[in-house]
């Protein structure tokens, strides 16, 4: 197979051009790099500069817009929870996004929020705490609320956000039970706002390329998915190791990447899972949650997924998809940066491996821009609440299987769980 067989433009050619057309059309006024990302000026309402008026009083007065009032069509986000993900990935990604900008913060720590607000050009009047959060309803700049809190808090803050009339982007895992997920979907439907779960891998170029290659038949018939997502936890007091805040251990936090990838790559839903968990008695980190989880999932076509996750093993992130005519690996998979693909097939009597080189994109900017476009164009997001609900159903079945030692059936979703392909919006 020659390099030309899978050129970068072939993966993204039409879709990327379509995307750029959209960018230069209705969104022409959007700016790629927001002013706050380029400047050290700390804009807030008190700091607005006004120049003296030089025209006669019969003329319309001139107004110098504040930095965040620049005429652009970026969708305004409120970030709820200023922890590692919000500060390390989401807010920095705003500087790389075309259609999304931060306009409000929700935090229990006002001093921290004021520092971040100054850094990102967010008005001090747009800083809320967990009690005043509902007042966000009165802030017209906020169109989307992005929930970046511990897992068990997602449901409450999605429900309150929907009641405030805002669209919601919620971190994975969606919640800690099927009931919560169903309530979140119902509340967003009742308030007529959109709900998207932040499955960033589904907006990542190599994952998207693999989906495209699978749908084009380049693997033949899909047979197996093999994956792992592990990391070694330190601090035993952190919320990730408390069942009431996390909902579980490694499975809902990192194992969910493997589970979700098996589903979106195959475009099938598992009907049965068989799983084990390990909770070492002599390790104080795992008094409440599992340290590792091993899963076999069966799909109707005969495709199977085998995946492990761990909180007590060195960081390791990998996936492989095997078909009748080819297989491909992402190694690392699920990482923020540096994802690599190797595609191997038997061609004209030879096994040929190919490593496509795709341009790395900030996955958080890509997912936020997708959601902003869905809000602006009134479209269903690619990873709506239903996608998170199905992962939660399967996670519950995984835990039940680990408890009972038996395979557990999973009910299929009643409708498709994914909206249009992000590359086509
Ligand atoms: P974190 O602990 O760094 O931040 C959590 C934030 O919630 C902090 O600001 C903390 O002060 C606040 N908080 C409010 N009430 C709290 C309470 N009772 N206990 C603990 N913290 C409380 O966590 P994080 O890594 O930013 O994770 C937040 C969410 O993002 C989780 O749902 C996690 O699964 C998800 N996440 C997603 C990715 C991804 O790649 N998409 C990566 C990391 C985390």
Q: Pick the atom of ligand 1 nearest to 87's CA.
A: 26
Res 8 pLDDT > 50: no
* 161 and 141 within one domain: yes
Give the H/E segment covering residue 210: helix 205-215
CA 85 to ligand 1 centroid distance, Å: 7
Q: Pick the atom of ligand 1 nearest to 82's CA.
A: 9
Residue closest via CA to ligand 1's atom 4 equals 83
Question: What torsion, rounded to 10 degrees, do the Cα atoms 380, 382, 386, 388 define?
Answer: -140
Mean pLDDT across the stretch 14-26? 33
- Encode pLDDT of 28-62 as tens digits: 333 333 433 433 444 444 556 677 888 888 888 77
In the chain, % of residues over pLDDT 90: 81
Predicted pLDDT of residue 325:
95
Predicted pLDDT of residue 66:
54
CATH code of the domain covering residue 26: 3.40.50.720
* 414 and 306 within one domain: yes
Q: Pick the atom of ligand 1 nearest to 336's CA.
A: 40
3-state SS class at 176 = coil
Q: Kindly state whether residue 376 falls inside one of the protein's structural domains.
A: no
Of 198, 222, 242, the one marking the end of a domain is 198
CATH code of the domain covering residue 355: 3.30.360.10
Predicted pLDDT of residue 64:
66
Please confirm whether the linkage preceding 292 is cis (ω < 30° from 0): no
Predicted pLDDT of residue 47:
53
Res 157 pLDDT > 60: yes
* 321 and 178 within one domain: no
Q: Kindly state whether residue 280 falls inside one of the protein's structural domains.
A: yes
Rounded-to-integer distance, Cα 393 and Cα 411, Å: 8
Predicted pLDDT of residue 267:
98
In the chain, % of residues over pLDDT 70: 86
* 191 and 307 within one domain: no
Sign of CA dihedral 388, 83, 317, 145: positive
Task: Give the least confident one: 48-52, 159-163, 175-179, 404-408.
Answer: 48-52
* 307 and 169 within one domain: no
Rounded-to-integer distance, Cα 389 and Cα 394, Å: 9
Look up residue 298 and give its two tokens: 């069966």
* 172 and 215 within one domain: no
- Encode pLDDT of 321-344 as tens digits: 999 999 999 999 999 999 999 999
* 188 and 288 within one domain: no
Mean pLDDT across the stretch 213-242? 97
- Encode pLDDT of 260-275 as tens digits: 999 999 999 999 999 9
Res 9 pLDDT > 50: no
Predicted pLDDT of residue 348:
86
Residue closest via CA to ligand 1's atom 43 equals 85
Res 141 pLDDT > 70: yes
Question: What torsion, rounded to 10 degrees, do the Cα atoms 265, 267, 272, 276 define?
Answer: 20
Of 85, 176, 251, 339, best ligand 1 pocket probe by most atoms within 8 Å of the beta carbon: 85
Rounded-to-integer distance, Cα 150 and Cα 399, Å: 20
Q: Can you point out the beta strands (E) in 373-417?
A: 408-409
CA 313 to ligand 1 centroid distance, Å: 21
Predicted pLDDT of residue 71:
54
Residue closest via CA to ligand 1's atom 44 equals 85
* 260 and 348 within one domain: yes
Q: How many CB atoms lie within 10 A of CB 98?
A: 23
Predicted pLDDT of residue 303:
98
Look up residue 8 and give its two tokens: 């970068």
CA 146 to ligand 1 centroid distance, Å: 12
CA 265 to ligand 1 centroid distance, Å: 27
* 295 and 231 within one domain: yes
Q: Kindly state whether residue 210 falls inside one of the protein's structural domains.
A: yes
CA 84 to ligand 1 centroid distance, Å: 7
Measured in residues, the chain has a length of: 425
Q: Residues enclosing ligand 1, CB less than 6 A?
A: 81-86, 108, 148-151, 171-172, 198, 200, 239, 245, 253
Predicted pLDDT of residue 178:
98
Of 79, 81, 133, best ligand 1 pocket probe by most atoms within 8 Å of the beta carbon: 81
Q: Kindly state whether residue 55 falls inside one of the protein's structural domains.
A: no
Name the domain count of the chain. Answer: 2
Rounded-to-integer distance, Cα 301 and Cα 213, Å: 18
* 302 and 226 within one domain: yes
Of 146 and 63, the one with more pLDDT: 146
Look up residue 404 and give its two tokens: 């009972």
Question: What are the CA-CA distances from residue 35 to residues 52, 167, 206, 258 (Å)?
Answer: 24, 25, 30, 37
- The DSSP 8-state label assigned to residue 401 in this structure reads H
Rounded-to-integer distance, Cα 242 and Cα 257, Å: 20
What is the span of the domain harbouring residue 219?
Answer: 202-364+383-424
Q: Kindly state whether residue 405 falls inside one of the protein's structural domains.
A: yes
Residue closest via CA to ligand 1's atom 38 equals 85
Predicted pLDDT of residue 40:
40
Catalytically active residues, by annotation: 172, 257
Q: Pick the atom of ligand 1 nearest to 154's CA.
A: 32
Q: What is the CA radius of gyration of the chain?
A: 23
Q: How many CB atoms lie within 10 A of CB 150?
A: 18
Mean pLDDT across the stretch 2-26? 33
Of 149, 207, 257, 365, best ligand 1 pocket probe by most atoms within 8 Å of the beta carbon: 149
Mean pLDDT across the stretch 341-366? 95
* 279 and 249 within one domain: yes
* 134 and 42 within one domain: yes
Are 20 and 368 contacting, i.e. CB atoms less than 8 angstroms apart? no
Q: Kindly state whether residue 420 falls inside one of the protein's structural domains.
A: yes
Strand 312-323 and strand 75-80: the pairing is unpaired
Opening angle at CA 269, ends 263 and 275, nearest 5: 80
CA 83 to ligand 1 centroid distance, Å: 5
- Encode pLDDT of 217-228 as tens digits: 999 999 999 999
- Encode pLDDT of 115-134 as tens digits: 999 999 999 999 999 999 99
Count Cβ neighbours within 10 Å for each residue of 292-307 and write b for 16 or more, e otherwise. Answer: bbbbbbbbeeebbbbb
Task: Give the least confident one: 20-24, 62-66, 152-156.
Answer: 20-24
Question: What are the CA-CA distances from residue 18 to residues 22, 295, 422 (Å)?
Answer: 6, 39, 11
Q: Kindly state whether residue 419 falls inside one of the protein's structural domains.
A: yes
Are 226 and 320 contacting, i.e. CB atoms less than 8 angstroms apart? yes
Of 150, 197, 391, best ligand 1 pocket probe by most atoms within 8 Å of the beta carbon: 150
Of 138, 166, 198, the one marking the end of a domain is 198
Res 233 pLDDT > 60: yes
Query: If you average pLDDT over every residue of the chain, what do you get?
Result: 89
Q: Kindly state whether residue 101 falls inside one of the protein's structural domains.
A: yes
Of 155, 182, 198, the one marking the end of a domain is 198
Sign of CA dihedral 402, 407, 412, 417: positive
Give the H/E segment covering residue 309: strand 304-310
CA 328 to ligand 1 centroid distance, Å: 32
């Amino acid at each position: 197979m020659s390099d030309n067989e899978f050129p970068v433009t072939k993966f993204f050619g039409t879709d990327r051009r379509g995307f750029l057309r959209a960018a230069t059309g209705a969104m022409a006024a959007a700016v790629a790099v927001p002013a706050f990302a380029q400047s050290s000026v700390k804009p807030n309402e008190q700091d607005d500069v006004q120049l003296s008026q030089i025209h006669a009083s019969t003329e319309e007065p001139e107004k110098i817009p504040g930095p965040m009032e620049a005429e652009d069509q970026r969708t305004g986000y409120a970030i709820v929870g200023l922890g590692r993900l919000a500060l390390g990935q989401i807010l920095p990604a705003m500087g790389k996004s075309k259609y999304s900008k931060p306009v409000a913060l929700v935090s229990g720590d006002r001093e921290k929020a004021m520092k971040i607000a100054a850094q990102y050009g967010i008005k001090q009047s747009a800083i809320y705490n967990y009690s005043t959060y509902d007042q966000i309803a009165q802030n017209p700049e906020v169109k989307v609320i992005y929930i970046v809190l511990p897992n068990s808090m997602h449901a409450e803050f999605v429900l309150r956000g929907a009641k405030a009339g805002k669209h919601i982007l919620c971190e994975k895992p969606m919640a800690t039970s099927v009931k919560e997920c169903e309530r979140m979907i119902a509340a967003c439907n009742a308030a007529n706002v959109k709900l998207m779960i932040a499955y960033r891998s589904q907006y990542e170029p190599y994952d998207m390329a693999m989906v495209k290659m699978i749908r084009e038949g380049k693997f033949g018939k899909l047979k197996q998915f093999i994956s792992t997502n592990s990391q070694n936890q330190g601090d035993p007091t952190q919320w990730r190791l408390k069942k009431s805040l996390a909902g579980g251990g490694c499975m809902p936090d990192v194992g969910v990447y493997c589970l979700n990838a098996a589903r979106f790559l195959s475009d099938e839903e598992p009907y049965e899972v068989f799983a084990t968990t390990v909770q070492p008695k002599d390790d104080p980190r795992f008094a409440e949650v599992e340290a590792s989880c091993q899963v076999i999932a069966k799909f109707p076509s005969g495709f199977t997924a085998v995946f492990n996750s761990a909180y007590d093993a060195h960081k390791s992130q990998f996936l492989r998809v095997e078909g009748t005519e080819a297989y491909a690996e992402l190694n690392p998979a699920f990482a923020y940066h540096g994802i690599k693909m190797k595609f191997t097939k038997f061609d004209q009597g030879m096994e040929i491996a190919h490593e496509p080189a795709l341009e790395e994109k900030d996955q958080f900017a890509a997912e936020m821009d997708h959601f902003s476009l869905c809000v602006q164009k009134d479209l269903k997001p690619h990873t709506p609440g239903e996608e998170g609900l199905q992962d939660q159903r399967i996670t519950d079945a995984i835990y039940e299987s680990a408890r009972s030692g038996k395979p557990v059936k999973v009910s299929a979703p009643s409708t498709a769980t994914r909206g249009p392909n992000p590359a086509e919006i």
